[in-house]
Amino acid sequence: MGITIQIAQLLLSLGLLVIVHELGHFLAARAFKARVDKFYLFFNPLFSIIRAKRVNKKWRLSWFSPAPPKEWAENPDNTEWGVGWVPLGGYCKIAGMIDESMDTETMKQPMQAWEFRAKPAWQRLIIITGGVLVNFVTALAIYAMILYAWGKEYIPIANATYGYDYCQTALNNGFVGGDVILAVNGKAPERLGEAVEQILYADGEPVTLLRAGDTVQLTLPADFSQQLLAANGRYFAQERIPFVVEMVTGGSPAAAAGLQSGDSIVGINGAHTLFFAQLSDSLLRYAGKPIVLNFFRNGELRSQEVTPTENGKLGVGRRSPLSFFKTKKLEYGFFESIPAGIVVGTETLVSYVKQFKIIFTKEGAKNLGGFGAIGSLFDTTWNWAHFWSMTAFLSIILAFLNILPIPAFDGGHMIFILYEMVSGRKPSDKFLERSQMVGLAIIVLLFVFANGNDIMRWLATR
């Protein structure tokens, strides 16, 4: 059920973002009276799930058709709207433009005033950048909506009473369980996310830690971020919290053992495991083997035999870290949320751009992910706040990636138009066609590589 919800969220999120992106191109094209032949969500090789077009002032529909009805050609100025069956994106086919449709026959015909190629360079530049701009503005709007509806709640580092548990890579480089990050290169972060981001870009700069009441200086190696990527862990650090059961899954080992909401698990086979991360590590060591679980219920210490799953799981949901510490919650009125959303969106873009350089390293390439990696960003239960947060983040990524100067991306088209504006010479159609083919080849290779990484990671867990 959980993976089904993740897939549904992924398709809904990407579907919304594809529509928004292509709508940016569509609106800009129509504003300059360029004809848009087709507007599609998902790709439609061989046939379309649905086609719609206004013909002779009436909307016509065509289901599961390999081609539009012939009479639809009577209104070439009207756009054909549709949904394809390959959920890998979408497209907005603008007349007289060399794009992923590779409609070279049209380019051989005499140029018409309503074609993309007939428009001044500055108008073509706006049409091309329309998708990226709308994606970025959409992200800012979503962040503003999230702040207005839910605000921002987090645990300040100063309030993490028990300190933090760290991944094995961090432990190997000098961190100790319970350490609190006070500063990175002299800058004191307020939230754990800020601390992690500063550490990733520290490049050997000192990290100040609070350890058992003493202040400790730690200098990380320059390749620390590469080590983290190579380890492929899901977290760098997390608050140390007691393991208190919030919910028990029916049919799970925990349900069979009679565990209840509110039980506080403190040990395995008599050995103390006071914090969630410690218990999780211990359960992995006892995967598929019977153990005696020690826990408090209503102030009374109890013991119960239970056999974790082969993955080292009990089948319980833990209580949120927010319930154990004093949190800081920022609430925003409608007009306050707008500039705050712009700040969040801008900071997210800047952070992503800083991290993007890691992709060009050996470990970064190994961790490049496709639909599986993207889908894993979503919760296994439907959480609207998290869904919209991930959608805004993906909208930022989509905007940034599309502006990269790669042929077939919006950024590739922009480079050619800017070259024309500076030099006064327009690249030939043949050059644009070949560049588009090269760009499409690059995209296909990246697609195969990224999703291949997903498959290899999945196989490694079997």
Rounded-to-integer distance, Cα 113 and Cα 116, Å: 8
Can you give the pLDDT of all 462 residues of the chain as single tens digits?
668 888 888 889 999 999 999 999 999 999 999 999 999 998 888 999 999 999 988 999 999 999 999 888 888 889 999 999 888 788 899 988 877 665 666 667 788 888 888 899 999 999 999 999 999 999 999 999 999 999 988 889 888 888 888 888 888 888 988 899 999 888 888 888 888 888 877 666 788 999 988 998 988 888 787 777 776 666 788 888 888 888 888 788 888 888 888 888 888 888 887 788 777 888 888 888 888 988 898 888 988 898 888 888 888 888 887 778 888 888 999 999 999 999 999 988 887 887 776 666 665 566 566 667 777 777 777 888 889 999 999 999 999 988 988 887 888 889 989 988 999 888 887 888 888 788 778 877 877 777 676 676 666 655
Q: What is the pLDDT of residue 2?
A: 66
Rounded-to-integer distance, Cα 22 and Cα 10, Å: 18
For residues 283 and 258, is the Cβ–Cβ distance under 8 A?
Answer: no
Could you say which architecture CATH assigns to the domain 157-238? Roll (2.30)
Q: How far is CA 131 from the centre of its chain?
A: 18
Identical topology for domains 157-238 and 243-318:
yes
Rounded-to-integer distance, Cα 259 and Cα 166, Å: 28
Could you say which architecture CATH assigns to the domain 243-318? Roll (2.30)
Q: What is the pLDDT of residue 340?
A: 93
> In DSSP terms, which residues pair with 297 in a beta bridge?
300
CB-count exposure of residue 61 (10 Å: 0-12, 13-18, 19+): exposed
Q: What is the pLDDT of residue 30?
A: 94
Neighbours of 303 (CB within 10 A): 11
Q: What is the pLDDT of residue 376?
A: 73
In three-state secondary structure terms, 189 is coil
Q: What is the pLDDT of residue 457?
A: 61
Q: Enter the DSSP assignment of 329.
A: E
For residues 154 and 328, is the Cβ–Cβ distance under 8 A?
Answer: yes
Q: What is the pLDDT of residue 31?
A: 94
Which residues contact residue 127 at a Cβ distance below 8 angstroms, ignoring those fewer than 6 apart? Answer: 25, 28, 29, 32, 34, 94, 116, 119
Rounded-to-integer distance, Cα 100 and Cα 153, Å: 43
Q: What is the pLDDT of residue 138?
A: 96
Amino acid in position 50:
I
Q: What is the pLDDT of residue 1?
A: 60
* In the block, residue with structure tokens 């959480």: 383
Q: What is the pLDDT of residue 392?
A: 94
Ordered by start, the domain boundaries in the chain are 33-118, 157-238, 243-318
